[in-house]
Structure 1
Amino acid sequence: MKYYLIAGAALLFSANALAGTCADATTQAELNTCSAQQVQTADEKLNQTYQAAVKRAPAPQRVLLKKAQQAWIALRDADCAFIGSGTESGSVQPMIVNQCLAEKTVEREAFLATLMQCEEGDLSCPLPSEN
C-alpha cells in the first residue's frame, strides 16, 4: 500500500514539475524540448537511487535487481511508444512520449526509494536496512 501512495505522490510531483518548468513554452518545439529535459532530470535521479540500491543489495540480489531494472526499462519504453502511437508523425508525439517516460521514471525512482527505507523485519523488502 505504501508503494502506491509514494508512487502517486511522485506522479503528482512530476506533473507539477513539468507544468512549472514548461509554463513559458509557447511552441510545440519548446514543449518537446522541455519534456525531454524532464525525462533527463527524472532519469538522473532514478540512476542515483538505482546505484544506491545496487550498492546496498547483496551480490545475488544485485543480479536480480539489474535484471528487473532492464526489464522495467523495456516495459517503460514499450508502454510509452504505445502511448505515443496515437500521435504518430505529429509534432506533439515527442512530448507525449516524453511525458510518459518522465512519469514512469519518477514512479520507478519512488519505488526504488521505498526499498531503501525498509523497516527492520519487513520480509517483503529485499534490501537490507542501512547500518
Structure 2
Amino acid sequence: MKAKLTSLTYLTLGLLATLIIGPILPSLAQNRPNCSSPMTQADMNSCAGQSFRVADAELNRVYNQFINNLSASRRERLIDAQLAWISYRDATCELEGESVRGGSLQPLYITTCKTGLTETRTQEFVAYSQNRYPAGSSSRFSEVEQQHRSALNTLRNRNASSLLDASENAWQAYRSSACEFERSGGGNAAFNNCQIRLTEQRIQQLK
C-alpha cells in the first residue's frame, strides 16, 4: 500500500471542517479572534490552531512539489521518512503537552509544538529542493549521541512516562528513515550530517 503512494496530504480535521462549514456559516468570520493580540485562552488556542494550519499547508505544498521530481526509489524512501516524521511529531508534541496535562494550556502547548516542528520540516524540504542537505553544528556524531543519551536519562529520571518512551521510539524511527533518504541523495556525508543535525534538535527538545 505504501509503495503506491506518490504524495502525502496533511489536511487536518480542523481544516477540513473549515472548508466544509465556512461557505455555510460566513457569519462565523465575525467571531474570529484578533490573532495579533488574542485576549483569552480560547483565542490563543484558536490562533495557535490557525498558525498550525498555515504551516501544515505550506509543508504539504513544498513536499508535493519536491516529491514529484524524485525517482521512484527515492520517492519511496521519502514517503517512509515522512510517515515516520508524522508519528514523531505527534508523539513529541503529546509529550510537550504532558507538563500541563488537563489544563487550559495543554492544547496551546501541543499545537505550538506541532507548528514549530512543521516549520522546521518545511525548511528541510526547501533545502532538499535546492539539492542541499542541512548540516549540524558538531563534527562528530558520537559526541552528540552521548549528549543525547545524557539528556534523555535526565528527563527520564524526572518524567518516566510512557509518552517519553513513545516520543523517543518515534524519533529514533524518524531519524533512521530520514537520514537514509538523505544518504540516497548525498551519500555517507549527508547521512552523517543528518544524524548529527537531528540528534542536536532532539537534545534541545529534551532539555
Q: Does 1:109 align with 2:122?
A: yes
Distance 1:59 1:118 in 2: 17
Counterpart AA for 2:56 = D
Please name the residue that 2:90 is paired with. 77
* CA RMSD after TM alignment: 1.9
Q: In the alignment, is the contact (CA less than 8 A) between 1:118 and 1:125 conserved in 2? A: no
Aligned length: 104
Secondary structure at the residue paired with 1:35?
A: helix
Q: 1:43 is matched with which residue: 56, 60, 65?
A: 56
Please name the residue that 1:62 is paired with. 75
Counterpart AA for 2:51 = Q
Q: Does 1:91 align with 2:104?
A: yes
Secondary structure at the residue paired with 2:185?
A: coil
Larger radius of gyration: 2
Unaligned runs of 5+ in 1: 1-20
Q: TM-score, normalised by structure 1?
A: 0.74
**Which structure would you say has the larger RCO, counting Cα contacts within 8 Å and 6 or more residues apart?**
1
Distance 2:35 2:183 in 1: 39
Please name the residue that 2:47 is paired with. 34
1:24 Cα offset (Å): 1.3
| Identity over aligned pairs, percent | 32
Q: In the alignment, is the contact (CA less than 8 A) between 2:55 and 2:115 conserved in 1? A: yes
Cα deviation per residue 1:53-107 (whole Å; 9 max; x = unaligned)?
1101111111110010000010011010001111111111111111100000000
Q: In the alignment, is the contact (CA less than 8 A) between 1:80 and 1:97 conserved in 2? A: yes
Q: In the alignment, is the contact (CA less than 8 A) between 1:115 and 1:126 conserved in 2? A: no
Counterpart AA for 2:82 = Q
Unaligned runs of 5+ in 2: 1-33, 133-181, 187-207
Q: In the alignment, is the contact (CA less than 8 A) between 2:59 and 2:122 conserved in 1? A: yes
Distance 2:98 2:65 in 1: 34
Counterpart AA for 1:58 = S
